[in-house]
Amino acid sequence: MQGLGNLLDVQTIYLEPAVEDHARGREILARYPDAERIEVPSHWRIAGLHGNEGSAARWTRIKRDVLVLGVKKAVRFRPNRSSSDFIAPSTANGCAMACAYCYVPRRKGYANPITTFVNIEQILGSIERHAGRQGTKSTPNQCDPADWVYDVGENSDCSVDHAISDNVRDLVELFGRLRNAKASFATKWVNRDLLELDPRGRTRVRFSLMPADLSRHLDVRTSPIADRIAAIDDFVAAGYEVHVNFSPVVIHDGWLERWSELLGELDAAIGPQAKEQLKAEVVFLTHNEQLHEVNLGWHPRAEDTLWRPEVQEGKRSQTGGWNVRYQRALKRRAVDDFVALVGRRLPYCAVRYAF
């Protein structure tokens, strides 16, 4: 497994009682023999970690030092229709990286280390049965013209997850043999161990990109933008479908000019094979009141960029949270301007969706 450097140094493992009943759980525990083990009744609510306001000041240290192991209870699929046709059951939740705009910790509060689910056979079986029930995709859509696309990394980063367990390897192998479906995940970490797998064109990796100076400010503990761009050709050569995820697009003074420079760098760096299959997603920033409060406890400078009430408006989310997004008219113009910019700088790169 590729070394993660200072990204992950597991000192404490919280685990549900049933974890050691699963082979994957025993494998992960064997990788961290010196870590303190603390049994908890549920991975979802851990006393002293989740919901503890004092954890915000230790935001990145908790991500580095803590791993949670659990058993996935609800194996459900959700229709998506934007980036993917379906959101697959998660094999992990949380992340060792610390992007200031990440939506995943909104329901946990104050701490968001990686939770890895060890009942991988149950999750894989549910995906295979679900894909089997879909049959052949008869109508092309923005997700894919021929295959049902399953997002397997909605709540985590699979590139980092692959350094913890073989869950991602098992997912890539599963979709490699499914004839009507492909996996998809977005990533901000370049894990070249993934190049040793055999995706057979059935796993889509979406490298998330933004202007490098903004990334250094907001994409805390992630791979540099230049490294992500440099990996694209290698992942295409290894048999992955590679798209780019321009996300989040943050509106600030000179934002279009910075994006224009980034698109030029991307165009110059990738080869013909990558360009032939490249597509993009564009997602403008949505922020959240609870996450804003968490960020003030560990990275208040990020909020100078993310929390701008003068150009944002509130929106109640489906889960009841209070989100903020750019004002409707401003965002409509910005989306149009951005899509037009992509068309000029990367004329071969179709924008699958933008919002």
Alpha helices in the chain, H assignment, sequence order: 23-31, 59-65, 120-134, 158-161, 167-177, 212-218, 225-237, 255-269, 272-277, 289-298, 300-306, 328-345
Percentages of the chain per state (helix, strand, coil), in multiples of 5: 40, 20, 40
Give per-residue pLDDT as tens, 216-273: 999 999 999 999 999 999 999 999 999 999 999 999 999 999 999 999 999 999 999 9
What's the rounded Cα separation, in Å, for the pair 154 and 242?
17
How many Å separate Cα 203 from the centre of its chain? 14
- Record the tokens describing residue 234, joined without a space: 């290698």
- Record the tokens describing residue 127, joined without a space: 């995906």
What pLDDT was estimated at residue 1?
A: 47
Task: With H, G, I as helix, E, B as strand and everything else as coil, classify residue 220.
Answer: strand
Kindly report the CA angle at 207 between 206 and 208, in degrees rounded to 5? 110
Sign of the Cα pseudo-torsion (16, 58, 158, 249, in order):
positive
pTM: 0.95
Beta strand pairing status for 279-284 and 241-249? parallel
**Rounded percentage of the chain residues whose pLDDT exceeds 90:** 84
Beta strand pairing status for 114-117 and 92-93? antiparallel
Pair 53, 77: CB distance under 8 Å: no
Q: So where are the chain's domains?
A: 12-354
Pair 65, 32: CB distance under 8 Å: no
Q: Which of 353, 112, 333, 161 is nearest to 247 (CA)?
A: 353
Burial class (CB in 10 A: 0-12, 13-18, 19+), 55: buried
Mean residue pLDDT across the chain: 93
pLDDT at 142 over 60: yes
**Lowest-pLDDT choice from 51-55, 98-102, 183-187, 310-314:** 51-55
The set of residues, in sequence order, having a beta carbon less than 8 Å from that of 348 and lying 6+ positions away, is 275, 276, 278
Q: Which helix (H) or strand (E) holds 325?
A: strand 322-326
- Domain 12-354 of CATH type 3.30.70.2170: no
What pLDDT was estimated at residue 111?
A: 77
Contacts 24+ apart (CB under 8 A), 53-57: 53/110, 53/297, 54/110, 55/110, 55/111, 56/110, 56/111, 56/294, 56/296, 56/297, 56/298, 57/297, 57/298
Give per-residue pLDDT as tens, 120-132: 999 999 999 999 9
Q: Which of 326, 234, 223, 239 is nearest to 284 (CA)?
A: 326
